[in-house]
Chains A and B, each alone.
Chain A
Amino acid sequence: QQQVKQSPQSLIVQKGGIPIINCAYENTAFDYFPWYQQFPGKGPALLIAIRPDVSEKKEGRFTISFNKSAKQFSLHIMDSQPGDSATYFCAASPGGFKTIFGAGTRLFVKA
């Protein structure tokens, strides 16, 4: 019940495409859903986050869509660029400090 399931494991898109990464959860106590971006050799960086009282949040080219009834949320990257090639992690938290991470998606954007 504490898991966050992330898919796909890897993703290749052409420059300008819109990669979509999906996550699902079971624990209805989760109330904070962040996404992190990680480049090779670096630590993750908080990218964007959403709370379940909204269905969508946009920051620049990154959009989170949230479906509370389905217990699913997804990250869309508009007009993707080769510089977006990285590993992306979704996560969920029931409040407090114990954020649960998905297994990660390796994204490669072809030039």
Chain B
Amino acid sequence: DAGITQSPRHKVTETGTPVTLRCHQTENHRYMYWYRQDPGHGLRLIHYSYGVKDTDKGEVSDGYSVSRSKTEDFLLTLESATSSQTSVYFCAISTDIINQPQHFGDGTRLSIL
């Protein structure tokens, strides 16, 4: 398995609180992604990173921010969590050769009450 660790694996929090999810990789891959997975929607891209401090928005970026200060870490922050952000969040990585998600972490199940 690709060396991707997501933390926490499960989290329950309340509406209005900030939440940060962490993705850590040991593969030294340049590209990293955050997706959310919801029934009937497949996976939808939230943000992605093409290098340290280089990030851009995906198709569902509203209410989310990201940061990448080191190659190995990509953080996703929900600035003020809402119930519509209850989802399973996946981090993914890919090499320089292909800028499509190749390896995914095992996800963070986030519930916002």
Q: How far is the CA of A41 from the CA of B107 in the complex (A)?
A: 8
Query: In whole angstroms, what is the CA distance A101 to B100 when docked?
Result: 12
Q: What residues of B have a CB within 8 angstroms of the CB of A2 in the complex? A: 59
What chain B residues lie within 8 Å of A98 (beta carbons)? Answer: 45, 48, 58-59
Name the distance in Å between B74's Cβ and chain A's nearest Cβ: 13
Number of interface residues of A (CB under 8 A): 24
A42 on interface, CB distance cutoff 8 Å: yes
Is B48 within 8 A of A97, CB to CB?
Answer: yes
Are B105 and A43 closer than 8 Å at their CB atoms?
Answer: yes
Which of B12-20, B35-43, B63-71, B79-87 lies at the interface with chain A? B35-43
**A1-17 interface code vs B (CB 8 A; 1 in, 0 out):** 01010100000000000
> Closest residue to B102 on the A side, CB-wise?
A46
Cβ contact within 8 Å between B43 and A46: no
